[in-house]
Structure 1
């Protein structure tokens, strides 16, 4: 908490003196009402020349400072998001959009009109080219383009957005760097993703979490109890000829109620969301952050989360009697039109291991070559070649295919071929080690021949096993979800150290796992980026959507990762637990804090009439007035001292609940008892130097 941020937050803290805002915090509203009462009493005493007027005025000043410091803690927490909100607001530029309209030539013909981006409606289609700002949120329905999203994510590297996949979502305010795309608008003006981000970052739409509401109810109940106690104490104090002035009674009330945690609760909640925002994760509400701290089951996608995701070809395994160069040439040829990372890696490995043929881009293939795209049905890709094609690995070859072992085996059997026994064994061996085997086959018009196997390796990210172990220590069960076969999934799961895995998973399988876990009383978190992930993201207690994914996924989730890093879900869980730990620790400190104040104020009220109560004055405070004023000053100052801890958060350690509780009681419970004794005594030594107080 630096001085510049504190000074910048002061105007907002002053504006929060509005009773309509303070009423949401029962503790601070009570202090506010007490401060008003003390102000009126102090003015009356000053006019009348009362000997206790200076004492009352000093107490009143510090009561107002208590309210100010409570407001300041929330204002500082909210202010931490202002800089990011300003940068996001700068990205929200009103631009002219090229809206597509149906052309006069009938279906398939279009015209364009230039309209302000604010006039776009959901369902409109706009055209964006290199250099254009995307006017609003939408999905790419035609084309492919490189997009600069640095205004939102902070990352300078451009990203690819294309139609027909899970990376079709675009955000208003980002810039197209290359090519041309058609975008269907999915958000009305003023309700875009950027608008929601700004509102959430600034905290203007922050909703209190269930635990925060429950804590406020508890604090309100304690406040009511102490108000009744102090009201009952007034006639007793008057009877005992103590100090029954309204100022003293208000000071007693403020010191007895849990003022510290009452002032810091909003800051703790806002800071939890801010820590997510600092990691480029946007939560729709504090509820999602808090729920993340209670997660007991974590669903992790294998590809991109546990592993790097971009599988690479690492080995060619020819069948017996097949020359290696034939397999290498066929593998390269089948991958020339394959623009996936796996396909490009096969071409690279072929060139590296002696194929000798230069790589060809798809557009360089001759017009009479038919490209066979990969599909989920065939699970194969390749080329249909004309006889005598220059790069043909055998002049009689008419077709070349690569794909999943079962798919290529079916392809070969349908064309009179078979998979040699040694290749079947090689497929099982690669799968058992967590790799992905692809078979390569050719067809010459008479009989298919399976030439060999390509080994694709998917590498588990470094440190993943250790992170999973940390989650296990937190009491979180990890489940890996993958579309791979059971053998491959089992090998990766063992290497990553996850507790369980679901292989060959469909969207329905993901949803079933979530429902099963929830029916067992567990809270579930998961990540996703595709439209097919939307049902599971919506069903999960914490769903984190990738910003690179579809609009449907982002709408279904309650968090969006702007960096599109699936592993960040592990950090989200840690932040949620840190939020809960911080709130619990500071609540413990606040309650323990009040113990010392009892020893300061109760003897001050009654020791003159009941000397026996002097035994409770273990701090040896100078006088009743100095004791009360010192307690009120400490009560205000401790709020300021704890604001940095509320914003930074108590460090979370992956230990058992029993150890966490013991540590909490030792540090914040015992510390909360000791600190006020020291602080109030030091303040009493200073206050005693004031003649009118002494």
Structure 2
């Protein structure tokens, strides 16, 4: 996806101007009510404004200054949220560029070639459309006929076209992308307004961003802390009266605002929006905020081997016939079994065996050899053909072909299978009329940087499990080379589902990625399910995250985004609470030190007067929100570490910083306002 140039001065200035205007709009009580802490602050600001000019003529100047800074505090919190939303709107504007109205060639059925041109917005789920070379795909859908190259740069930002074809796990297409070769027929899978681009626009604009469970829990905590400090402030007038100290309503209101957790209350929404924005920057659509947070807590990753750990372009490299079978016989059988196989592996078998085909091939005798093709099934793990003359050819996983032939492995077959597996290849058995002819060796290559990434996950306390349909020997060889913690070989949909449920029952949070219909049950069961946008509609609907780049390794980046989001919220919460504690011990002694000289030991900052102490604290309270906005938007940097290390870092940096900052900041502000004669 094309990234907006947010760093450009003109763009930044425009975004700031828009955010300032939105800050005023967000003063609407209906919007403020979504943030209880800031709603409380706004109510207190309103009360201070009214009482400040009516109750004490001698202190109107101080009261109005306090009321002004209370309103500024609310506006700064609104500004933090608005600037985060503004970044999302910038991305949304770029996405809307791919949503222009197009004409679609709607078909009555697959058998009827005639078409009727209709507006793309008039298409409904289930409609069939023909998309020719050079045309935009009018809506999200699934290729049901044909194969074509598709330019998805408008969505993914990748310049290289990708292949989309019917009958495979790469059949899904996205509205707004362009067909650059051939012609395909697409079945529309989303009604207008419910496409992936529509959902992404809603997500980045924040229109459908719901509070996550952690946000809700933190909001409850902030409300609880606010109530505690409300009780504290409510008791102060009695002490003040006893000590012959006059505390006006604006002073008490200001004190309450400085003590309640306004810092994290003002930044909480911005942290969440910015976290989602970072996810969108990775071209990932989240169906729920819960999934993003769960990604930060996962401790087990199920990762498919092909295309993730390996490059995914397994190719047939060797034919290993059994005794009594010639190379030519095995080549002919493997070729015929793969003629209708649309997978890259099947195509590579055709390429390899075509090179070895001769005119004397016994299996090629017959005018129309293929009577029926048997498609690959995740449950049977075999494919093949039935010929007109009654011959039956099957290929697939060795154990599956043995089961289909109702045989046990011979010593020679076992030896050949182990030979291929130990070399890190995948052995496919080929059988003719229930007789196994030999092995076709498929080889794949482990990505060179994947081992380092798994090491990084291990340092984060995350266990990695490789999922593959390969036999155990092949799986073990690839797992050892890649550096994963464990593997599941000969995995069926039921095996994946069982593994996830078992891990969850043991208390683990599990994430997995997939792109096929056979992955849908496991994607739905996992705490974090990441589907490839190029995959089947079933996989995309089952997952709670969808990767528009269709890059399976993105799962690792999603985990990092989730962890950074949680750590950012935790760090700023720690800072805010420490801030409030420090302000309490900084201000209260200044209020009562005249009556209770023993408090002088706690009056560290030596503030000029109770009035200047309160005003300085109010000003600091507003300014600290602005100072922390860049950190809330950028997020706290995350480095892999254990929970105890992260806690120690949080306390030492943000806890200690939250304690020290108010003492320094309030004292400097106190000196400034007294030097300027503002009080």
Place the TM-score, normalised by the shorter chain, in its bin: 0.7 to 0.9
- In the alignment, the residues of structure 1 paired with residue 621 and residue 341 of structure 2 have an alpha-carbon distance, to the nearest angstrom, of 68
Instruction: State the shift of 1:557 in Å.
Output: 1.0
Alignment partner, residue 394 of structure 1 = none
- In the alignment, the residues of structure 1 paired with residue 175 and residue 54 of structure 2 have an alpha-carbon distance, to the nearest angstrom, of 60
Instruction: State the shift of 1:581 in Å.
Output: 1.2
Q: Which moved more, 1:588-597 or 1:494-503?
A: 494-503
Measured against aligned partners, the alpha-carbon deviations of 1:156-203 in whole angstroms (never above 9, x if no partner) come to: 222222222222222222222222222222222222222111111111
Does residue 638 of the first structure (1) align with residue 638 of the second (2)?
A: no
Could you list the runs of 5+ residues in structure 1 that have no partner in the other structure?
359-364, 387-397
Alignment partner, residue 395 of structure 1 = none
Alignment partner, residue 3 of structure 2 = none
Alignment partner, residue 33 of structure 1 = 43
Instruction: Note closer, same or farther for the CA distance 1:400–1:588 as it changes in structure 2 (3 Å cut).
Output: closer
Q: Which moved more, 1:639-648 or 1:176-185?
A: 176-185
Measured against aligned partners, the alpha-carbon deviations of 1:291-325 in whole angstroms (never above 9, x if no partner) come to: 11121222111111222211134556677899999
Instruction: Note closer, same or farther for the CA distance 1:576–1:345 as it changes in structure 2 (3 Å cut).
Output: same
Measured against aligned partners, the alpha-carbon deviations of 1:559-586 in whole angstroms (never above 9, x if no partner) come to: 0000011111122112112111111111
Instruction: State the shift of 1:370 in Å.
Output: 4.0
- In the alignment, the residues of structure 2 paired with residue 212 and residue 411 of structure 1 have an alpha-carbon distance, to the nearest angstrom, of 53
- In the alignment, the residues of structure 2 paired with residue 381 and residue 189 of structure 1 have an alpha-carbon distance, to the nearest angstrom, of 40
Counterparts in 2 of 1:89-104, with a 5 A limit?
89-101=96-108
Alignment partner, residue 68 of structure 1 = 75
- In the alignment, the residues of structure 2 paired with residue 243 and residue 91 of structure 1 have an alpha-carbon distance, to the nearest angstrom, of 64
Task: Tell me the TM-score normalized by structure 1.
Answer: 0.86
- In the alignment, the residues of structure 1 paired with residue 125 and residue 333 of structure 2 have an alpha-carbon distance, to the nearest angstrom, of 48
Q: Which moved more, 1:205-214 or 1:428-437?
A: 428-437
Does residue 245 of the first structure (1) align with residue 248 of the second (2)?
A: yes
Instruction: Note closer, same or farther for the CA distance 1:65–1:381 as it changes in structure 2 (3 Å cut).
Output: same
Instruction: Note closer, same or farther for the CA distance 1:611–1:22 as it changes in structure 2 (3 Å cut).
Output: same
2:33 pairs with 23, 42, 50, which one?
23
Contact 2:48–2:250, Cα closer than 8 Å, also in 1: yes
Contact 1:267–1:647, Cα closer than 8 Å, also in 2: yes
Counterparts in 2 of 1:500-579, with a 5 A limit?
500-579=486-565
1:427 pairs with 389, 408, 417, which one?
417
Q: Which moved more, 1:200-209 or 1:122-131?
A: 122-131
- In the alignment, the residues of structure 2 paired with residue 303 and residue 625 of structure 1 have an alpha-carbon distance, to the nearest angstrom, of 68
Q: Which moved more, 1:111-120 or 1:559-568?
A: 111-120
Instruction: Note closer, same or farther for the CA distance 1:124–1:206 as it changes in structure 2 (3 Å cut).
Output: same
- In the alignment, the residues of structure 2 paired with residue 679 and residue 310 of structure 1 have an alpha-carbon distance, to the nearest angstrom, of 60
Counterparts in 2 of 1:45-56, with a 5 A limit?
50-56=57-63
Alignment partner, residue 277 of structure 2 = 274
RMSD in angstroms over aligned alpha carbons?
Answer: 3.5
Counterparts in 2 of 1:244-263, with a 5 A limit?
244-263=247-266
Instruction: Note closer, same or farther for the CA distance 1:509–1:70 as it changes in structure 2 (3 Å cut).
Output: same
Instruction: Note closer, same or farther for the CA distance 1:16–1:599 as it changes in structure 2 (3 Å cut).
Output: same
Alignment partner, residue 436 of structure 1 = 426
Instruction: Note closer, same or farther for the CA distance 1:425–1:281 as it changes in structure 2 (3 Å cut).
Output: same
Counterparts in 2 of 1:317-356, with a 5 A limit?
340-342=343-345
- In the alignment, the residues of structure 2 paired with residue 399 and residue 536 of structure 1 have an alpha-carbon distance, to the nearest angstrom, of 33
Measured against aligned partners, the alpha-carbon deviations of 1:48-107 in whole angstroms (never above 9, x if no partner) come to: 8x44322222222221111111111111111111122111112112222222226xxxx9
Instruction: Note closer, same or farther for the CA distance 1:456–1:532 as it changes in structure 2 (3 Å cut).
Output: closer
Counterparts in 2 of 1:392-431, with a 5 A limit?
424-431=414-421
Could you list the runs of 5+ residues in structure 2 that have no partner in the other structure?
1-5, 359-363
Contact 1:138–1:171, Cα closer than 8 Å, also in 2: yes
Alignment partner, residue 604 of structure 2 = 618
- In the alignment, the residues of structure 1 paired with residue 209 and residue 34 of structure 2 have an alpha-carbon distance, to the nearest angstrom, of 13
Does residue 156 of the first structure (1) align with residue 121 of the second (2)?
A: no
- In the alignment, the residues of structure 1 paired with residue 341 and residue 152 of structure 2 have an alpha-carbon distance, to the nearest angstrom, of 27
- In the alignment, the residues of structure 2 paired with residue 356 and residue 467 of structure 1 have an alpha-carbon distance, to the nearest angstrom, of 41
Instruction: Note closer, same or farther for the CA distance 1:375–1:610 as it changes in structure 2 (3 Å cut).
Output: same
Instruction: State the shift of 1:405 in Å.
Output: 5.1
Does residue 169 of the first structure (1) align with residue 205 of the second (2)?
A: no
Instruction: Note closer, same or farther for the CA distance 1:507–1:335 as it changes in structure 2 (3 Å cut).
Output: closer
Counterparts in 2 of 1:458-537, with a 5 A limit?
458-537=444-523
Number of residue pairs aligned between Structure 1 and Structure 2? 659
Contact 1:600–1:631, Cα closer than 8 Å, also in 2: no
- In the alignment, the residues of structure 2 paired with residue 497 and residue 399 of structure 1 have an alpha-carbon distance, to the nearest angstrom, of 40
Does residue 287 of the first structure (1) align with residue 290 of the second (2)?
A: yes
Measured against aligned partners, the alpha-carbon deviations of 1:188-241 in whole angstroms (never above 9, x if no partner) come to: 222222211111111111100011001111111111222232122123323423
Larger radius of gyration: 1
Instruction: State the shift of 1:36 in Å.
Output: 1.0
- In the alignment, the residues of structure 2 paired with residue 123 and residue 278 of structure 1 have an alpha-carbon distance, to the nearest angstrom, of 31
SS at match of 1:545: strand
Instruction: Note closer, same or farther for the CA distance 1:606–1:370 as it changes in structure 2 (3 Å cut).
Output: same
Q: Which moved more, 1:330-339 or 1:191-200?
A: 330-339
Does residue 669 of the first structure (1) align with residue 672 of the second (2)?
A: no
Q: Which moved more, 1:478-487 or 1:554-563?
A: 478-487
Instruction: State the shift of 1:509 in Å.
Output: 1.6
